[in-house]
Structure 1
Amino acid sequence: MKKSILFIVIFLSIASSLQLLNYKYYIDKKEQYIKSRVNLMQEHYDVTYQTFKTNSIHFYNSIINNSKLISILNDANNQDLSIRNKARTKLAKIFKSKYQLVDNLGIDLIHFHLKNNESFFRRENPEKYGDDLTSVRYSVAQVNKTKKPIEGLEIGKHSHAFRFVYPLFDENKQHIGSLEGSVTADSFIKFMEHALRIHTHFIINKNKLDLNNHKLLEKYTYANGFENYLRLKNTIKTTIKHSKEEKDQIKKKLKNIDTTVTKSFSITVDKNDKEEIIIFIPIQNIKKEKTIAYFIVFDENNDLELILNDYTQQKSIALFISLLVAFLIFRLLASKQNLEIRVNKKTKELKDLNENLLTTVESKTKELQDSLNIISKYVIYSKTDLNGIITEVSDAFCEVTKYSKDELIGKTHSMLKHPDIPSKIYKELWSTIVSGKIWTGDILNKNKDGENYWISTAISKKYDNKGVAQGYIAIRHNITSKKQFEEQHESLMRAEKLASMGEMIGNIAHQWRQPLSVISTASTGIKMQKTFGTLSDNQLLKDCDLINTNAQYLSATIDDFRNFIKGDRTKKVFNLKDSIHSLIHIIDSTIKNNHINLILDLKEDITIDGYSNELTQCLINIFNNAKDILKEKNIDNRLVFISTSIENNKAIIKIKDNAGGIPNKIINHIFEPYFTTKHKAQGTGLGLHMTYNLIVDGMKGTIEATNKTYTYKSEEYMGAEFIITLNK
């Protein structure tokens, strides 16, 4: 009974520890994935907004560069009503024909205002003009007052829209009014849904609307879960269907969320036995002083189910390992107890030795037999003749192979051979033992039931008293659990690299935004200038060169990232400086986003005979550690130094920061597996351990970490310094 309780206690202790670690890893992985989806949707929103802004700038430039239009708008300020009406008629005629191409830019509303904030011409409603916009349109009044452009979400008397308002001047630089290009929320959502194949809602604070304007309120409906928000009806053609239980989930989770936040956030709800991510992108008013609306993205096609399935599988593996380890520990404790009993027995036998020699001899004979039985039970061994025919096996050998002694004796070990083990291994084994040497190694075998098991083996010749070879003896140790643990460890290491790759993908996406925006701006500019006949050859060549330069930058980014992820472990000679510059190219957006000042001191013509991708992975791990601690300690002047040199014909790479160093009590443990300096929810403890293995085992180099105080630009700093030493 006590033994059963002991076994249960051991099993529960190991199982609970492994399951806790597995659950924390699952939660961390899930949160990281959701965060990446939120960031992705925020970036797509930003790109969409920037696209419409760029298009409005092109439209504005086409207006101010058209002297005929400026002349017409100048007449709009004439005191003579007939001249003003003629100017409006001319403007309407122009926009009815030539400027219909503006629709291709996605601009829904075009509105000209006089400098006294009076509406002069609405392209969508030419018959409506002359109304004073001072009190209802902050953007118009502000632009005419400051003579500076303004942009953002603004609510008017009849609708809301993303408005881009610019001041207008005549050829004498005299202010003559303002121009507005607006994009409705409906167009904004259609653009995002077409690009991402997602479902999106747009909701707005009802307190910002004129609740007495029933014609305006007819355009909206109640926004589920947001008591003070309304949803624009015509923005959604395919509405997300939620059951009552799902709606209750949304309401419950939104109660604890501050809807005045200015950063994107998300919640998850259970939908059709799957988790749905609902992402909220806040939108401020045109004054940039408060949040008045949200884009809501319903992310149904996500990978949360795959993450959950992986977690479930890992739970089963952890349970099996817990059971196996608990059994081994229990057996070890039981063996220890048996040995203690035998020690006490031997003591008594020695005490009685003088009383009865014959009894003592018989007792020792029995003891020897018992010892042989113990060896047979717990030691996996076998004996063969010189031809490899089995002559003797232990009970432990029968237990692991699941064959009886009768089934084994007279046969060869080939009956246990696993088909995946190459024949050359066995040829090498026989060549070694025939020559009289001892062969050692790990071999995968298959037992009688077809199950695989790993054994660590030592085989040597056995001789008689005259030194004549009689056969061979093999001592084995079952290492199946060790191999299974190593496979799980390798799986976690691969997961760590995949996490790094996920972060790199975020970096690449961020780096592409600027060149894509430049390419879009240049190409749209060419089209507009061609339309209005203002495109010169020099401008065309200049814009084409700009597009080509940014396209080459995108191509170089792809090449660097492809080289990093392809996992090519071919040993080759590579230039250390070029490898580090490729690394910087990959993490460039991370450096900029985290306001890190990267200082390089790279020597020319240092070459390494090794694995470039593995070195890049190591440098990324070390850089990410430095980045995280700099952010955690909220250091303003964030410094990271990378230098290379040659010492004693070896390549030296040094990476240091100014984050204050590593605590002395843990600095000697940072390369150990599952040891992390971060919060448990933020790190797996495998990054630096993987770095150590790649450098020491993979590239036969060394890596060490120390705390260092140094001076930079007359300021004294302290931080961690990692030193990597590699053979050239």
Structure 2
Amino acid sequence: MNRERILAVLYDLAMVIGGEVNLRPLLTKTLQRLLYHTSFPAGAVFLDVSPQNGSGKVTATIELAIGDYELAGHAGETLVLPAALFSGAISLEQDRSLIDALPCHRGAYSVLLKLPIDGNGVVVLLSPAEPLSDLPLTQVFQPVMANLAKAILLCRRNEAYTKAIISDRDRAESGLKRFHAALNATADSVFLIDPFLMHFVDFNLSAETSSGYARAELLSLGLQDLLPAYPRDQLEHLFGTLLRGESSIFDLDTTLRRKDGSEYQAALRFNLFSHAAEQLVITMVRDVSEYKRLENELRLLNENLERRVEEEVAKNREKDHLLIQQSRLAAMGEMVHNIAHQWRQPLNALSLILTNIKDDFDYQQITPETLDRDVRKARSLLQGMSTTIDDFRDFFRPDREPGDFELGHAVEDALFVMAASLKNNDIEVVRDLPGGMLINGFSNQLAQVVLNVLANAKEAIQLGNVPAGRIGITLVRDGSNGVLSIEDNAGGIPGDVLPRIFDPYFTTKEQGSGIGLYMSKMIIERNFKGRIKAANTADGALITITIPLLETASPSTKEQQP
């Protein structure tokens, strides 16, 4: 083969490789020219080679295939192939293992021309027999493959750069569309104004709607057309302060005129900015007519607000006094009811003692010793009844000043008052009241809250005819709070009633006042800065009271104190 023929082939391939900046056309045209110059009928280009841990195999992607439908059908796929197909120099192979490893029709080819691309991949040319070519196939294409490797690298860099540019452009266009959409969606009017001519350059849809002008009409107008009552020299002075940098923002409250001649109050904000070496003033216009109307109404309302507040405070104070009085009456009724339960047993005992004295007298069996014994028993019972009165009186006597007290002790005080009533109704009380939880306030107020909850639980058990009534009381520490839970097994609170049980005057009892739980809620929230809530469980109702605890020194801290 003469030198001119080789140079012509190399020149042709160099022009193809050097004339493309995108990978796909580069590979397509290069493979086409190689097939043409070598007379091979089919070929493929494999790239992105990755070895597989010394197994003699590599993974590679078929970027392009020409002349073989089966090979072309695998374009874009990543295959596992022999490493020998990609290593070494350019060679003409008749190794069946290499040919059969390719995804083409078996037996269709017996000759393979391997053209490695400097570690980037390989060009494989296939033929059923060795073609009759006057080219030194294993020698002439060495510089071509080196140039192809560089061209592939450059094409990929170019495509990545182009992709980045397109992505940036798309993001910019998307952002611009999003900005315009947001600008047109805002209720405020936005104008771009030429600060020298004071004509409108651009604006959003709200500007057209609020002014009543069509876009073409607004573009032929200026700011002065919407502000006929505002002197032009003052507008020029305003824009001058912006242009000279004396102010970056200027606000103006004025009246604007629509196309139909109607007027509305508006707040305008002017701001100078530069765009493409052009100075423009962006003007935000907000219709404040409704705001001004409401402001005027608010001013009128405020003129009489103090008097109305005083009247409402007086009414609320009267209501509070009434609630407190009703709560006291309810508490006194509860006290009398519980005293009756406490006295029932000693009164029965006194009745038996008097009966015994009479019987002894009737049967002439009374003696000074038996009389003295019965009198001592009677006096003991009377002393116990008197003590009960004192205990109940102490419970309901208001504390003069708040103080620190054990949360569990206040619960025990309430249980003491209810003990006889609960026992007489066969209601079991299960309690778990650990100590060490100090709170500050009026202890009898908290005891009154617990008493209200216990009384409601007792009545619910009675009304529900629960055969084995039970009330569970637990006290636990939750961080800096003490949590008191009181649960009964009376079946729970109806769903339509549950959200309203803490409302004033709301009751489901025939003789109920509807103030017990309301006052309990007020005491917990106002006096103890806590919260009370109600919920239903599987067996009944659960009342949870959460109260902030006082900080107490740890044992180690106490030992360090003098």
Structure number with higher relative contact order (C-alpha < 8 Å, ≥ 6 residues apart): 1
Q: Indicate whether the TM-score tops 0.5.
A: no
- TM normalised by structure 2 equals 0.42
Q: Which has the larger radius of gyration?
A: 2
